[in-house]
Structures are given as structure tokens and as C-alpha cells.
Amino acid sequence: MAADTSTLTVLAVGFSVFALVVVVALAVRVGKLIRTYDALVGGDEQSSFVAAVGRQTARAARAADEVSRLREELAAVRSGLSDVVRHVAVARYDAFSDQGGALSFSVALLDDRGDGVVLTSINARSETRTYVREIRGGASEQALSPEERDVLAEARRAAPSPAGSGRGA
């Protein structure tokens, strides 16, 4: 009988240790669940999980409305950019052989449709002449000089200048 009692005691102690390990593991898991729940309800012990989900759903709906509004604004800004001068090219050159320093220049200023102007300044020793040629769809109704044609072609090929840089391509 003594052997039976000691065997039962060992089994009882082993079962108790096993039960204690299970209880500790469950306590750790419950602690994690409580921390997760507190994070969901925002630390408000009076709040329910359903109320917390409702608040999060409302926040998500407000965020979706804001994203939708921002998309509309971005579309409006993008459509307005087609009218903005974004393709720019500059060429400096010596218009006359008797003058050095490349003081003459041509500048092409175009929007995305190829509309804009070519501005040319021809500098001589005693005078400066400035010409402006209107450009529609990448072409001018007036005859262009070789330098003006080159700067116009360069501006048409140029990527749009970066927003806010204040510089051309």
C-alpha cells in the first residue's frame, strides 16, 4: 500500500505542476489579450469593443472622405498645369561676327500643348532688338530664325520643369 500512496503522491504532484504551468501560460495569454483590448478601446475601461470598432470605422470613413477630396483637388491642379509654362529652353549665341561674348539669345517658353512664345534678343554694338514670336501647337505663323527653330525644338523635347524650381529644363 505504501507504494500505491507514493505513486499517487508523485502523480498528484506531477499533475499539480502541469496544471500550474498551464495556468501560468494562460495568464500570460490573457494578459496579452487584455493589453490588445486596451489598445483597441483606447484605454477607456468603460468603452466596449463594439464602440471602439465604431470609432475606428468612423475614422476610416473620414480618412476616405479626405482622400477623395484630395484626389479631386489633385485632378484640378493637374488640369490647370497644362496651361502653365513648363517647357523652357534657352540658347545664347553671337548674332554678329564683330561681337563676342554670346550676348544674343532666344528663349522658348511653352505649355504642355506647345503654346507659348519664343523671345529673341539680338545684340549688336550700338543697338539691341527684341522679337517675340507667338507659338501655337509648337509652330509659329511667322518665319523663325535657325536659332529660334532650334530653341523651340529643344523646348518641345524638354521634360516639364520641376514644380517650384523656378528654372527651365
Domain count, the chain: 2
What are 70-97's pLDDT values in tens digits? 999 999 888 888 788 889 999 999 888 7
Q: 87: how many CB neighbours lie within 10 A of its CB? A: 25
Q: Does 142 reside within a domain?
A: yes
Name which of 104, 137, 110, 107 is nearest 123 in CA terms. Answer: 104
Q: Is residue 104 located within the same domain as residue 146?
A: yes
Q: Is residue 108 located within the same domain as residue 58?
A: no
Name which of 64, 161, 45, 56 is nearest 108 in CA terms. Answer: 161
pLDDT value at residue 6: 85
pLDDT value at residue 162: 56
Residues with Cβ within 8 Å of residue 137, at least 6 apart in sequence = 113, 114, 115
Q: Is residue 9 located within the same domain as residue 68?
A: yes
Q: Does 162 reside within a domain?
A: no
Q: Whole-model pTM above 0.85? A: no
Q: Is residue 9 located within the same domain as residue 56?
A: yes
The domain in which residue 53 lies consists of: 2-80
Q: Is residue 13 located within the same domain as residue 75?
A: yes
Helix axes 2-41, 49-81, angle to 10 degrees: 40
pLDDT value at residue 112: 87
Q: Is residue 25 located within the same domain as residue 69?
A: yes
The residues of the chain scoring below 70 in pLDDT are 1-3, 43-47, 98-100, 161-169
Among 31, 52, 80, where does a domain finish? Answer: 80
